[in-house]
Amino acid sequence: MEEAIVLGERGRGQTAPNPSVGCVIVRNGGTVGRGWTQPGGRPHAEAVALAEAGAQARGATAYVTLEPCAVPGRGPACADALIEAGIARVVAAISDPFHHVNGDGFDKLRGAGIIVEVGACAAEAERSMAGFLTRQRLGRPFVTLKLAMSLDGRIALPSGESRWITGEEARTDVHRERARADMILVGRGTYQADSPSLDIRLEGYEDRAPRRALLTAGDAPEGWEAIRAPEAVAALPGVNDLLVEGGAGAAAAFLAADLVDRLLIYRAPILIGAGKSAIGDIGLASLAEAHGRWSLAETRMLGIDRLDVYERVRS
């Protein structure tokens, strides 16, 4: 299942509105098929892995990060394909909350005499498909807010100088985050100050042009989509994962609307003192409101900079 999760990561940023699923088919202890959801959302992971396995799928176990789909959609249903291929056992990380699946995939497999087990690497699968799952459960994208700041929470000098606060390794990591997003958003102020390209400067990603959005009351320039308010992102088709890259105004707007699910704080070992703070007013009335909201999920060094990943605690 760990390998299936890694495979599922390969499709991130290219499969929306579908999730990027991973699948590994194992027979007699050897892998006979591997697959992940293809760009545009089809073929599904299982179809790719079954195609590679061919006749070797008979009697094999399929490890899949999401419950196989139950009814034919834009392609055949994976539950049917697994049954037809003679798979003996399906191990799934999590069930699919999509109303056309939602347990029906497992029922179909069990009805055909296939052994079904659910729950392996569930937390990893939830993280990997958080965009799709948030879309299904809350009717909006999963929002990641990225902030690159000094030790004292500044993103620019009073003069506006901001290039660069964090080093190259931290900036490369941001490009990896961009590659996983379906859309990248910045505020009007950042657009005017930096005219960011928001491209993905990673080897192998030269042809990927991510969708770009501007949080603005006015019209968006060519190549950009205008978003009037944070809540409006719910209505965007094809966006499961949204990356908000600042600046202080956009960060504050999304935080004030409680629409940030994951915080990436890249912190350089520098002090700026007086300067531009990373986040504008979020309308806090008391410290009690601030406590208990964020929990540290991961922390990593990127060269001399440090990345802290926080997740919104929603209970």
**CB of 129 closer than 8 Å to CB of 17:** no
State the Cα–Cα distance between residues 205 and 151, nearest whole angstrom.
31
Classify the phi-psi angles of 120: left when phi > 0, otherwise alpha if psi is within -120 to 50, otherwise beta.
Answer: beta
Per CB under 6 A, the segment of 13-21, 183-191, 212-220, 233-241 that binds ligand AOF is: 13-21
Which C-beta is closer to ligand AOF: that of 121 or that of 186? Answer: 121
Residue 62 touching ligand AOF (CB under 6 A): no
Q: What is the dihedral of CA 41, 45, 49, 54, to 10 degrees?
A: -70
Q: Which residues in the 18-47 window bind ligand AOF by CB under 6 A?
A: 18-19, 21, 37, 41-42, 44-46
Which C-beta is closer to ligand AOF: that of 98 or that of 254? Answer: 98
State the Cα–Cα distance between residues 135 and 133, nearest whole angstrom.
5
Active site residue 289: no
State the Cα–Cα distance between residues 197 and 209, nearest whole angstrom.
10
User: Taking the complex as a whole, how short is the minimal distance between the CB of residue 45 and ligand AOF, in angstroms?
Assistant: 4
State the Cα–Cα distance between residues 219 and 97, nearest whole angstrom.
36
Catalytic residue among 9, 46, 67, 231: 46
Among 7, 25, 26, 78, binds Zn ion (CB under 5 A): 78
Residue 215 touching Zn ion (CB under 5 A): no
Residue 69 touching Zn ion (CB under 5 A): yes
In degrees, rounded to 5, the angle at the alpha carbon of residue 58 between the alpha carbons of residues 54 and 61 is 100
Cβ-proximal residue to ligand AOF, closest one: 73
Residue 230 touching ligand AOF (CB under 6 A): no
User: Taking the complex as a whole, how short is the minimal distance between the CB of residue 1 and Zn ion, in angstroms?
Assistant: 17
Whole-Å CA distances, 243 to 42, 62, 180: 24, 32, 9
Among 5, 25, 50, 78, binds ligand AOF (CB under 6 A): 78
Residue 104 touching ligand AOF (CB under 6 A): no
Which C-beta is closer to Zn ion: that of 44 or that of 262? Answer: 44
Q: Which residues contact 293 (CB under 8 A, 6 or more apart)?
A: 312, 313
Per-residue b or e along 78-117, where b marks 16 or more CB atoms closer than 10 Å to that residue's CB? bbbbbbebebebbbbbbbbebeebeebbbebbeeeebebe
Residue 23 touching Zn ion (CB under 5 A): no
**CB of 52 closer than 8 Å to CB of 26:** no
Per CB under 5 A, the segment of 54-62, 68-76, 166-174, 242-250 that binds Zn ion is: 68-76
User: Taking the complex as a whole, how short is the minimal distance between the CB of residue 233 and ligand AOF, in angstroms?
Assistant: 19
Question: Minimal CA–CA distance to 188: which of 178, 199, 196?
Answer: 196
Binding site for ligand AOF (CB under 6 A): 18-19, 21, 37, 41-42, 44-46, 66, 68-69, 73-75, 78, 96, 98, 101
Q: What residues are annotated to the active site? A: 46
Binding site for Zn ion (CB under 5 A): 44, 69, 78
